[in-house]
Amino acid sequence: MAPAISKPLLSDLVAQIGKVPLSHIRPVGDRPDLANVDNESGAGIPLIDLKKLNGPERPKVVEAIGRTCESDGFFMGMLRVAREFFHLPESERLKCYSDDPKKAIRLSTSFNVRTEKASGGHLRDGSELRALALRLLEAISESLGLERSHMVAAIGRHAQHMAVNYYPPCPQPELTYGLPGHKDPNAITLLLQDGVSGLQVQRGGRWVAVNPVPNALVINIGDQMQALSNDRYKSVLHRVIVNSAREREDLGADVLLADALADDGHPLAYRPFTFQEYYDEFWNMGLQSASCLDRFRGPEDP
């Protein structure tokens, strides 16, 4: 039987009332300010041919990955799954509903429904992408001047989350978000967007649109990579805005860390912590700030 939930799913609510429900309207100071988004320079987010990691040009690709991890934390590397799922009858969709953000497979309506009022429809679920993520971790190790296997070994046991995010058309996109500004808590995120824009990254204090490039993955560094690289690589603030004309979907795969610890020859910026500790803190703080890395700054015993 479908679980009883206190809030209707947002996609159904919007279709019924044709406007953003009051509960989902953001305070005036916390709205997307759509007129003030840089839609052009997102083209400057590097497009890297990952196939070349397997050939003679590997050193150049590794260097390009390192450069972009140090500056933007974002680079670029289609699906009908979400649309099919979200067009199923409500009773079928509710079978997947859970408000527990740590559950690997769940239907939800925001980043953290326990604390957030932001809009969105998300089917979080959890293969080939893992293999690519591990190859990227190898390239990232090399870009930091480490052995190819360093990051994967440092990470040790790891898990992967997969999320299918679905954003229904929103009649008043200026009043709310698809996902509010956040940094990813994991090590690395691989994202396959459909053809609809919505993802934005903060660069130099401005929001820049990461417009979809056909067949390209968007890859971004998360908090664990920032800690593992001892702050050399940055976990980057990003958000998703919605639009009134088109639904949008994407598929994201995150590599999570079990045990994060780094020493690249500099004083450690963070005290040793396990990913479980970090993940608990991240969800408990409820997106009050974009990341909780500062709470893990060390050393523990000065």
Ligand X SMILES: O=C(O)CCC(=O)C(=O)O
Residues near Fe ion, by CB under 5 A: 184
Q: How many CB atoms lie within 10 A of CB 9?
A: 18
Element (H, E) at 284: helix 275-285
Q: Is the CB of 64 or the CB of 190 nearer to Fe ion?
A: 190
String marking each residue 162-201 x if it binds ligand X according to CB under 6 A: -x-x-------------x----x------x-x----xx--
Smallest gap from Cβ 177 to Fe ion, in A, equals 12
| Site pattern 223..242 for ligand X (x: CB under 6 A) | ---------------x-x--
Residues 6 or more apart in contact with residue 221 via CB below 8 angstroms: 69, 73, 74, 187, 188, 233, 234, 235, 236
**Which CA distances in Å does 4 have to 7, 90, 225, 302?**
9, 12, 38, 50
Q: Between 62 and 279, whose beta carbon lies closer to ligand X? A: 279
Report the residue count for the chain: 302
Name the closest residue to Fe ion (Cβ).
184
Residues 6+ apart with CB under 8 A from 227: 260, 262, 269, 270, 273, 293, 296
The neighbouring-strand residues paired with 221 are 188
CA proximity to 114, closest of 101, 124, 97: 101
Q: Output the residue with the shortest Cβ distance to ligand X.
A: 199
Our CB check for ligand X shows the closer of 66 and 180 to be 180
When the beta carbons of 32 and 198 are compared against ligand X, the nearer one is: 198
CB of 58 to Fe ion, least distance (A): 28
Residues that contact ligand X, how many (by CB under 6 A): 12
| Binding positions for ligand X, rule: CB under 6 A | 163, 165, 179, 184, 191, 193, 198-199, 238, 240, 250, 252
